Amino acid sequence: MALVTSGDTPATGVNITVPLVGRLITAQFPQWADLAIKPVEFDGWDNRTFRLGEDMSVRLPSAEWYAGQVEKEQRWLPRLASRLPLPIPVPLAMGVPADGYPWHWSVYRWLEGENATIERIDDLRTFATTLAHFLVALQQIDSAGGPPPGQHNFFRGGPLSIYDTETRQAIAALHGKLDTNAVTAVWEAALRATWLGAPVWLHGDVSAGNLLVQDGHLSAVIDFGCSGVGDPACDLTIAWTLFSGGSREAFRAALPAGDATWARGRGWALWKGLITLAERLDTNPLEAASARCTIDEVLADHGGAA
């Protein structure tokens, strides 16, 4: 997650600002033209989000490779929302390219809550179980016609082998900085644990920043840009990025995840931890430390399962 600024989006040069959002709203949805527009305090890499009045938000892709997610969310989120036990973003309108902004964009119902952190969660075991029940409900929704893994969601739900070269390059770059033999063993175990099930719905980016907390409890799940249908193992990564010990056990116990799925989940968490550590080791100590912690949790969990 990154602090919203009014500067140019580095990948595109598109200056996504409050004035731009105001012009887009006024031109395309004049019924909302008088509502206040404020950037949210924290935002993701793929979109810029602004609060529109008290009850809505505006979400604009920050680069072309995220733009395809807009129509996907517009089509599928209303169908998923009624079948899930927690609120998810519900699109109210879709904007079109205009005023120098080149992609479709969305207006959503605002969801109250703060990004999940250990400090904001009353009982991490209960939180883990609630999240697991949400994911089970998501997986049980009919996946017929749903979007398969692809560029739109960075192949979430596809085979881990897609990221094999990238992962091994990161391992090589980190030689001497961690136990490369151990991480290679975990990675290769994940690759061997192939997915044989029917495709199911998956969120694609179950991270603390996409979980909202109110009064100490999980209150909503947001950002379905990486959603699709396929192997749900990628949705398990939070078991090693947020949970540990008893909360991880509670999360796994509430999921229909066998040993092979759990091993692939470790692989997804390891892939992200390794590429982040390799990229940020010398430039961002905080993110590097978080990535190293994830890797350590994965290694320990694999060792305990062996």
Domain borders along the chain are 2-111, 115-305
Is the pLDDT assigned to residue 42 strictly greater than 80? no
Q: Summarize pLDDT for 131-182 with one digit per residue, the tens.
A: 999 999 999 999 999 999 999 999 999 999 999 999 999 999 999 999 999 9
| Average pLDDT of span 115-139 | 98
Q: Summarize pLDDT for 196-228 with one digit per residue, the tens.
A: 999 999 999 999 999 999 999 999 999 999 999
pTM: 0.92
Report the pLDDT value the prediction gives residue 15, as an integer from 0 to 100: 87
Residues 229/143, Cβ–Cβ less than 8 Å: yes
pLDDT tier, 43 (very low <50, low <70, confident <90, very high otherwise): low
Residue 299, Ramachandran bin (φ over 0: left; ψ between -120 and 50: alpha; else beta)? alpha
The CATH class given to the 2-111 domain equals alpha beta
Cα separation values, 121 from 30, 84, 124, 271, 294, Å: 39, 21, 6, 27, 19
pLDDT tier, 306 (very low <50, low <70, confident <90, very high otherwise): low
Average pLDDT, the chain: 93
pLDDT tier, 44 (very low <50, low <70, confident <90, very high otherwise): low
Is the pLDDT assigned to residue 8 strictly greater than 70? no
Phi, psi (rounded to 5 degrees) for 254: -90, 0
Tokens of 299: 């290694």
Q: Which CATH superfamily hosts domain 115-305?
A: Aminoglycoside phosphotransferase (APH), C-terminal lobe (3.90.1200.10)
Q: Summarize pLDDT for 265-289 with one digit per residue, the tens.
A: 999 999 999 999 999 999 999 999 9
